């Protein structure tokens, strides 16, 4: 697998686990907007994670009940044709209900502490400037505070993945496996999976759920993401009881790939330096030398052949005159299919 430097150098952001696992049925563009909001709140999320009280954050120090965040439209959409999609998504997020219950506090008009409930949209207002392609959103301060709380830990993931994919399930599954990427396998029951992805009333047949939701995300993440998964299931009798996501890291794959290249080059060097191989000899066993499953075994075999030939050449009677040809035939006899 060839892995681009772009993939290996994606910008990693941190998001509260509460947001990662929130049961919000976002469209792709809505999720991109939320991701950009989280990205713009990275400083605050990091400070809260380190123990700073939310009320002491500079962004919340003004007397206004709202905060403003500005970003470029180009950050979240691929071309100008998506302007209307962003506009629609922002309109929908304004009506996306968020209910926040604040801790009970003392009131001037009541002897008993009063609990305050705020009902708002995820965003209060959005201003789009079409030609400069800037978006300014206004969020209620209480909503923003909910978005930076790190009580249950943080999920680290590559921000760009949310903008590269056009599949909302790919977005959600990427977030999910990113949170569990330190585990080899993340397992979840089909019912819990449906619940987390807001799929309770969709794809009643598990085979359709796998085919329409999981497999496309599996294929796409393998192409574009720093972390991806290999999917399988566990069953009790004929009933599928677990969805298993075997988590893979491209950075690790990249390092393994480089190590294999180095070992392969070492094998070629041994053949050239000690067994008289020229380019045509290397070409004769190129298929064997290129096999990843033989790299370690080949090294041992080359050393074994070198030792044998050195001993054989001690006397004229047993000397091997055409060393490269002898080695080629030995390698083919043992390793050729």
Beta-strand ranges (E) seen in the chain are 12-16, 66-72, 97-107, 110-121, 125-129, 134-140, 154-158, 185-188, 227-236, 239-249
pLDDT, tens digit, 9 for 90 and up, residues 202-249: 999 999 999 999 999 999 999 999 899 999 999 998 899 999 999 988
Question: Please, what is the Cα angle at 315 between 309 and 317, to 5 degrees?
Answer: 95
Q: Is the dihedral of CA 114, 116, 117, 119 positive or negative?
A: positive
| Location of structure tokens 């050239």 | 272
Structure tokens at 331: 């390698």
Mean pLDDT of the chain: 85
Whether 108 shows a pLDDT value over 60: the answer reads no
The residue-averaged pLDDT of 121-148 equals 86
pLDDT band at 107; cut points 50, 70, 90: very low
CA–CA dist 80, 227 (Å, integer): 29
CA–CA dist 261, 285 (Å, integer): 16
Percentage of residues in the chain having pLDDT higher than 70: 86
pLDDT of residue 65: 85
pLDDT of residue 100: 46
CA distances from residue 283 to 225, 266, 279 in whole angstroms, order as listed:
35, 16, 6
Of 239, 309, 300, which Cα lies nearest the Cα of 267?
300
54 or 4, greater pLDDT: 54
**Which letter, b or e, does each residue of 226-241 get, where b requires 16 or more Cβ atoms within 10 Å of its Cβ?**
bbbbeeeeeeeeeebe
Rama region for 153: left / alpha / beta (φ>0; ψ in -120 to 50; rest): left
Assess contact for 275 and 327: CB atoms under 8 A: yes
Phi, psi (deg, nearest 5) at residue 110:
-140, 140
pLDDT, tens digit, 9 for 90 and up, residues 263-285: 888 899 999 999 999 989 999 99
Would you call 228 helix, strand, or coil by DSSP? strand
pLDDT of residue 79: 67
pLDDT band at 110; cut points 50, 70, 90: very low
Would you call 115 helix, strand, or coil by DSSP? strand
Distance between alpha carbon 310 and the CA centroid of its chain, in Å? Answer: 52
Assess contact for 176 and 186: CB atoms under 8 A: yes
45 or 292, greater pLDDT: 45
> Which residues contact residue 322 at a Cβ distance below 8 angstroms, ignoring those fewer than 6 apart?
none
Burial of 19 (0-12, 13-18, 19+ CB in 10 A): buried
Whether 17 shows a pLDDT value over 90: the answer reads no
**E strand or H helix at 169, and its extent?**
helix 168-179
CA–CA dist 237, 123 (Å, integer): 48
Radius of gyration in angstroms for the set of CA atoms belonging to the chain, rounded to a whole number: 29
Phi, psi (deg, nearest 5) at residue 198:
55, 50
CA–CA dist 181, 179 (Å, integer): 6
Of 139, 148, 184, 165, which Cα lies nearest the Cα of 223?
165
């Amino acid at each position: 697998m060839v892995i681009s430097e772009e993939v290996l150098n994606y910008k990693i952001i941190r998001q509260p686990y509460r947001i990662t696992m929130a049961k919000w049925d976002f469209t792709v563009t809505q999720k991109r907007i939320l991701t950009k909001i989280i990205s713009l709140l990275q400083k605050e999320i990091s400070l809260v994670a380190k123990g700073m009280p939310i009320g002491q954050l500079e962004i919340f120090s003004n007397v206004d009940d709202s905060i403003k965040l500005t970003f470029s439209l180009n950050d979240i959409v691929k071309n100008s044709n998506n302007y209307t999609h962003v506009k629609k998504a922002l309109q929908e997020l304004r009506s996306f209900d968020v209910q926040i219950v604040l801790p009970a506090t003392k009131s001037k008009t009541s002897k008993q502490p009063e609990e305050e409930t705020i009902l708002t949209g995820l965003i209060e207002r959005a201003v789009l400037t079409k030609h400069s392609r800037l978006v300014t959103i206004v969020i209620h301060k209480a909503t923003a505070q909910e978005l930076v709380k790190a009580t249950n830990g943080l999920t680290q993931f590559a921000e760009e993945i949310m903008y590269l994919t056009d599949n909302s399930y790919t977005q959600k599954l990427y977030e999910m496996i990113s949170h569990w990427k330190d585990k080899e396998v993340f397992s979840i029951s089909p019912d819990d999976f449906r619940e987390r992805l807001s799929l309770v009333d969709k794809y009643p047949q598990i085979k359709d759920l796998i085919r329409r939701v999981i497999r496309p995300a599996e294929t796409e993440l393998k192409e574009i993401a720093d972390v991806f998964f290999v999917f399988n299931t566990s069953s009790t009798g004929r009933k599928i009881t677990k969805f298993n996501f075997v988590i893979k890291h491209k950075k690790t794959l990249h390092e393994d790939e480089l190590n294999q290249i180095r070992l392969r080059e070492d094998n070629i060097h041994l053949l050239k330096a000690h067994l008289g191989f020229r380019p045509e000899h290397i070409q004769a066993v190129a298929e064997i030398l290129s096999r990843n499953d033989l790299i370690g075994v080949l090294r041992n075999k080359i050393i074994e052949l070198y030792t044998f030939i050195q001993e054989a050449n001690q006397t004229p009677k047993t000397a091997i005159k055409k060393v490269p040809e002898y080695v080629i035939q030995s390698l083919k006899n043992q390793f050729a299919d």
